Amino acid sequence: MNISNQEQPIVSVIVPTFNRANLLPRAISSILKQTFSNFELIIVDDGSTDNTAEVVKEFTDPRIIFLPLGKNYGGSYARNQGIKAARTELIAFLDSDDEWLPDKLELQLKRLQDSDDPLATVVYCLGYECVEEQRKMPSLTLFEGDVFNHLLEGWLPPTTSLFMVKRSALLEVNGFDERLPSFQDYDLWLSLAAANNHFLAVNQPLIIRYFHEQQIRGNLVAKSTGLEIFKTKWGETMKQRVGYIEYWKFISLKTSIIQLIRVGKSVEDGKKMLALSYVIGLLKYLPWSANMIIKAIVLSTFGNNGYRSIFLLKSRIKQLIKGSKKYQY
């Protein structure tokens, strides 16, 4: 689908970035390779101190709009500035360290146009995850229509890079909550669903999400603060709509992830007894923390490098088993 001859773009692509000059070209290139070409690309520089501006200037495509903010405000503020600057009704998000597959925009736009649901304003898709060059597609149940209760129960498409949303719906809920240093996307999808916006899905992987050291998942303060604000904002609604057990399951899973990060940081700092205390603390969140307890024990025993090596070995074994099953007759 190529309708680039039209002057008015149909989709605004928003890419917030902060000090990712080394990763940004991959994201930009994946957007410019889209089979649907009638878009504007708004790159919001959230106060980068590296050579991000120079990297963007190397791309001469007239569809690119560079929006430098001057200082670092955070991802939510940066995305909201992109939404405000957008000239179209459809907004697609891509994190600056992720990558789209070529037909991402085309297939999502088609899904939205083909829907007979007048309340549909959000369309998402599946995606690959890539850790140290190991690519996999995690399982994700696809829900459509009213997904509010599913979200309250902990269902969550894992990244904003999967999504396309109508701008009017985003503005109605005031966009991303700028108080949140984490859980911003989860909060936004809940806000949209609570406002009776329906979701649509493309049952196909259309993005690649990369994991690396620069990501916020390693920022304990952001994770902990975001979870506390999120609990205050949505906790009572969760308890009322899906029950206390589901609420506690959600808190247990999210807190266990934070505890695992604490274990890794303590091991890295040579504080093994502190790491052990965090492992013991995970017992409070059983049975939902069982998987994290196993990971934490491996991490505290073999260290970060050993943990990564075991993870990679496990991934390769799974791939080999999957490959051998594929060719069985």
**Whether 140 contacts 320, CB under 8 Å:** no
Neighbours of 264 (CB within 10 A): 21
pLDDT-derived band at 321, boundaries 50, 70, 90: low
Q: Is the pLDDT higher at 73 or at 216? A: 73
Phi, psi of 27 (to 5 degrees): -65, -50
* pLDDT tens per residue across span 224-247: 999 999 999 999 999 999 999 999
CA angle 240, 242, 243 (to 5 degrees): 65
Identify any residues that bridge with 39 across adjacent strands, giving them in sequence order: 11
pTM for the structure as a whole: 0.89
CA distances to 21, 61, 66 from 58, in Å: 12, 9, 12
pLDDT-derived band at 19, boundaries 50, 70, 90: very high
Q: What is the pLDDT of residue 138?
A: 84
The top-scoring range by mean pLDDT among 111-120, 128-137, 204-213 is 111-120
Phi, psi of 98 (to 5 degrees): -105, 180
CATH of domain 11-211: 3.90.550.10
Residues of the chain with CATH 3.90.550.10: 11-211
pLDDT-derived band at 147, boundaries 50, 70, 90: very high
* pLDDT tens per residue across span 53-94: 999 999 999 999 999 999 999 999 999 999 999 999 999 999
